[in-house]
Amino acid sequence: MRLLAILEYDGTEFQGFQIQKNGRSVQAELERALYDFGKTRIVTVGGGRTDAGVHAKGQTVSFTIEWARDLEIFKRAWNAKLPNDIFVRRVRVVDEKFSARYSATSRVYQYRVWNHPERDVFKTRYAHWIYETLDVNAMQSAAHCLIGKKDFSAFGTPPQGAIDRHRHNPVRDVMRLEVTRDGDEIIFTIEANAFLYRMVRRIVGTLLLVGRGVMPPSEMENVIQRKRRSGFSAPPNGLTLLEIKYNL
């Protein structure tokens, strides 16, 4: 049967989702645990290619496996074989042609900033610390310039995989980009059909320039048109893959 799994992980100790020649990956851990079910490699397809240090609450994987019992039993058995920094939340049957990656309609990422004069050791794994006060209204104003179908070359590079339908194409459709404050945390939420390599972190880094008063919101249009360089790539620890959406 073809299955879709929704999982979460703390990305701190991983070199990314995809299998790496050197270093620990989420995909390798998932497939290592699945191997025990039939003593043969079960290839998983991930819905999102998170980088080293990036977390996930709604990552997805699809794969085919021989299993005749209840899926809840399968989920519990799979989780029992996984390390403590990965947990499978849900498993469901999907069509044989379903792909966690290519069947996705959009992906939602969230980036968190701890905006306080003092560092909080209990937040450093999941939020980027900035001690100076940030202007949320200015960042939200700049964020409006990024909504829609645009060439996002200023913020990243497209995938180079030979079978990827987005190969060499820097155009992405950003459906939502919100900047909100929750107490001492600033939360950036961005949804798009797909993302360029490091696109979210470069967008956040550029918005932080606006929040610091280094760049006015009106300059964001010049960044898109590559008349001005974008900001730094924000550190990976603040980024979480929140959800991958499908028409199921």
In this structure, what token pair is assigned to residue 158?
């497209």
Confidence of residue 161 (pLDDT cuts 50, 70, 90): low
- CB 153 within 8 Å of CB 170: yes
Please say whether the structural domain 2-93 has been given the CATH code 3.30.70.580: yes
Confidence of residue 237 (pLDDT cuts 50, 70, 90): very high
CA distance 16 to 180: 27
Annotated domain spans of the chain:
2-93, 105-246
Closest CA to 197 of 142, 143, 239: 239
Average pLDDT, the chain: 94
Write down the CATH number for the domain with range 105-246.
3.30.70.660
Which residues, in sequence order, are bridge partners of residue 55? Answer: 240
Q: Each residue of 144-158: pLDDT tens digit?
A: 999 999 999 999 988
Confidence of residue 166 (pLDDT cuts 50, 70, 90): low
Q: Each residue of 28-79: pLDDT tens digit?
A: 999 999 998 888 899 999 999 999 999 999 999 999 999 888 999 999 999 9
Q: Each residue of 118-141: pLDDT tens digit?
A: 999 999 999 999 999 999 999 999
For the chain, report the end-to-end CA distance as a whole number of angstroms. Answer: 16
Q: What is the per-residue pLDDT for 162?
A: 45
| pTM given for the model | 0.94
Equal CATH topology for 2-93 and 105-246? yes
Q: Report the catalytic residues.
A: 51
| Backbone dihedral angles phi then psi of residue 115, each to the nearest 5 degrees | -105, 85
